[in-house]
Amino acid sequence: MIFTGDFIFPGNFSKDIFEELDSEFIQKPKIVNFESTFIEFNTKQKTKGIALFSNLKALKALKHLNVVCTSHANNHVTDYDFDYERYINAFHEKGIDTAGFGKNLNEASIPFIYEEEKLIILSFGWETIRCKAAKKDKLGVNPYRYKWVEEQVHKYQKKFPEYRIVLFIHWNYEFETYPLPADRQFAHHLIDIGVDGIFGHHPHVINGYEVYKNKPIFYSLGNFYFPQVRYGNHQLNFRDTALDGISVDYNGNLNDLRIYHHKQDKQGAFIKLEGCYKLGEFEKLNQLSGFRDLGHKSYINFYREHRFHKNKLLPVYKNYNSTLEIKCFNVFVKFRQIPIDIITKLKNKQ
């Protein structure tokens, strides 16, 4: 299974867009983070921030890329009101499974089971970055809450003892170069309790990786295909490093793992494969992974010194078991976003 990063498709489908990807890469089964809804199904905008959308031609692109599952545990799947059944069925009718999103918590937490490699893939989204959590009777994403994640891991370990558990997580701050200390600490804990691999997304840039107890943790795959065009009233502009991404082929066996480095045109005219590497061969990724040998306390200091968002009042989540601190940080981040939304709205009206 190839794990890829953020995907959005607002334009017209053409095989030429993907012509410079290796045919072997295209033919392998994939899971992507589908970070939008379909404009044809959308009604009222719900988010106060930037609302992203794809169009139905995205389904042709997904089929061409042999995407077998789309994860929707992200912060843009609830940007608009839409008919949930119609949206999900659009994927299912094309033979594409979905995960991480549902009309209630029970449905949102159902994993994708990839029988060919005996993988259980659990998808989660972090509420602090506007992933709307599903509830007992409310539509939303499978929430990235430490206790809940651990419960789900144990649940499927007991239910499928012969399968490997892999997590696909929407976490961290946008454009952050390194994982939050609490997330890194929790990722190690998850490996300790039997998780076989972790793949992250949301920052829109590549983060480093670790091999912890012989299991891979890729903190951010970056963007896979994410055109920087106009979405409604907003012109999307990312830092240049958002044009690079990685996809990781992982079947549960570290020796078979392969890293695909790809780069896309800013407006989405093409995406091309830059190289395919065994673990440890991709120097650019190695340079982002200099923290691998650091203990937790040392990493907190490393993160504070090297983080991208040094002066934007975004708190450093240090320990995943510091419940009170985490609750306070969550409230702070929520209220910090209010003036940002107001400024964004005013800019879009100009």
pLDDT band at 339 (very low <50, low <70, confident <90, very high): confident
- Is pLDDT at 349 greater than 60 in this prediction? no
pLDDT bucket at 130, cuts 50 / 70 / 90: very high
Q: Is the pLDDT of residue 115 over 70?
A: yes
Cα–Cα distance for residue pair 173/307, rounded to 1 Å: 10
Tell me the CATH architecture of domain 2-349: 4-Layer Sandwich (3.60)
Q: Which of 83, 78, 48 is nearest to 233 (CA)?
A: 48
Coil/strand/helix, residue 263: strand
330: left (phi over 0), alpha (psi -120 to 50) or beta: alpha
What confidence score (pLDDT) does residue 95 get? 98
In terms of Cβ atoms closer than 10 Å to its own Cβ (0-12, 13-18, 19+), residue 335 is exposed
pLDDT tens for 26-37 read 999 999 999 999
Q: How many Cβ atoms from other residues are within 10 Å of residue 279's Cβ?
A: 18
Going 327 to 139 to 84 to 41, the CA torsion angle's sign is negative
Average pLDDT of span 76-89: 97
Tens-digit pLDDT profile for residues 243-260: 999 999 999 999 999 999
Q: What is the pLDDT of residue 343?
A: 64
What's the mean pLDDT when you consider all of the chain?
Answer: 95
> What is the pLDDT averaged over residues 263-273?
97
191 CB-near residues (< 8 Å, 6+ apart): 198, 212, 213, 215, 217
| pLDDT band per the 50, 70, 90 thresholds, residue 348 | low
pLDDT tens digit sequence for 283-311: 999 999 999 999 999 999 999 999 999 88
CA 170 – CA 73 distance, rounded (Å): 7
Residue ranges covered by each domain of the chain:
2-349
Say if residue 350's pLDDT is above 60: no
Strands (E) across 112-270 are located at 112-114, 119-125, 140-141, 164-170, 197-201, 209-212, 215-218, 223-225, 230-231, 234-235, 244-249, 258-264
Radius of gyration of the chain (CA): 19
Provide the pLDDT for residue 346: 62
**pLDDT (average), residues 223-238:** 94
CB atoms within 10 A of CB 22: 14
